[in-house]
Amino acid sequence: MPNSDNSINEIIAATAGHPGPIGVFDSGYGGLTVLRSLRQALPEADFIYLGDNARAPYGNRSFDLVYHFTLDAVRHLFSLGCQLVILACNTASAKALRTIQQRDLPLLDPDRRVLGVIRPTAEAVGTITRTGAVGLVGTPGTVASHSYDLELAKLHPSLRLYSHACPMWVPLVENLESEGEGADYFVRRDVEAVLTQDADIDTLILGCTHYPLLLNKIRKFTPAHVTILPQGEIVAASLLDYLRRHPEMDARITRGGTTRYLTTEEADKFSSLAAVFMGSPVAAERVAY
């Protein structure tokens, strides 16, 4: 039974300041590619992964809906004791993160933190490109938000960014078609569409956490001189750096080495697919909020 707004606020208040797991959120399975790197970087930390599979994909949805869905998820993870939540989803980072940080966090609990994946990726890309021409593939929502353009303009103003939306890539992954022949058609078409915008492009940002699951196909259609940039390791390195700079948050992470998997859809289906992505057994729980 979903909790009412008031009762969830009371539960959040009751867990304020108590150490808890790191929350990792995505619309579906894609954030597991980030979770895997986070667990490698922080093997002793506890994690709760939440996939909003019932409402995925987010990529074609309005700003307003993505914001509300993401806020629901963050509140749920807070109510489970998470003091730190990573939005392991570019679409949510693009459309919801700033509002949650600026408007909701001060009301919910000013000491908790919600971090996204776009800023760390934008920071990293400046040290990788040699030509200054960078390609970005992402969901229609992420590309239309211009979040990467804005971050890169702040951090590395001399870089030229060429974006292309790939509306079919997340559905291919969510429907387990990432190794199928249909994926060849869409991946080739979209990789060509981004890379032909400038022959100097030497770095391709995978600006969606689902896309590493299409890496075999992406590699197949990307020339060898182009560096393909998945986000997992970048986000993990950035979190380690954040925790070094914020020992007060580091101290509020419980360390039992556990991971709990939550989904808003059917638990058995999530468990079997997530086990493939994680390379180890997963026993997911279904949640409603």
Q: Indicate whether 178 belongs to the interface with ligand DGL (CB under 6 A).
A: no
- Tell me, by CB under 6 A, how many residues bind ligand DGL: 17
Q: Which stretch binds ligand DGL (CB under 6 A): 55-63, 148-156, 178-186, 218-226?
A: 55-63
76 or 210: whose CB is closer to ligand DGL? 210
Residue 262: Cβ-neighbour burial (10 angstroms; 0-12, 13-18, 19+): buried
Q: Comparing C-alpha atoms, which of 26, 73, 30 is closest to residue 166?
A: 30
CA distances (Å), origin 44, targets 40, 41, 102, 251: 9, 9, 31, 13
Interatomic CA distance for residues 230 and 213, integer angstroms: 10
Q: Which stretch binds ligand DGL (CB under 6 A): 22-30, 39-47, 102-110, 185-193?
A: 22-30
Interatomic CA distance for residues 96 and 60, integer angstroms: 14
Active site residue 208: yes
CA distances (Å), origin 273, targets 9, 66, 79, 181, 263: 33, 24, 26, 20, 12
Give the pair of three-digit tokens for residue 44: 């002793």
Interatomic CA distance for residues 253 and 247, integer angstroms: 10
22, 66, 71, 89: the catalytic one is: 89
Rounded to a whole number of angstroms, the minimum distance from the CB of residue 147 to ligand DGL is: 11
Window 187-216: residues binding ligand DGL (CB under 6 A):
208-210
End-to-end CA distance of the chain: 8
Rounded to a whole number of angstroms, the minimum distance from the CB of residue 277 to ligand DGL is: 12
Window 90-119: residues binding ligand DGL (CB under 6 A):
90-91
**x-or-dash string of contact with ligand DGL, 137-156, rule CB under 6 A:** --x--x--------------
22 or 166: whose CB is closer to ligand DGL? 166
Q: Indicate whether 80 belongs to the interface with ligand DGL (CB under 6 A).
A: no
Q: Indicate whether 170 belongs to the interface with ligand DGL (CB under 6 A).
A: yes
Active site residue 82: no
Rounded to a whole number of angstroms, the minimum distance from the CB of residue 231 to ligand DGL is: 8
81 or 232: whose CB is closer to ligand DGL? 232
Q: Comparing C-alpha atoms, which of 60, 53, 112 is closest to residue 285?
A: 53
100, 137, 165, 208: the catalytic one is: 208
Our CA angle for 163, 164, 166, nearest 5°, is: 145
Interface ranges with ligand DGL (CB under 6 A): 26-28, 30, 56-59, 89-91, 139, 142, 170, 208-210
Residue numbers annotated as active site:
89, 208
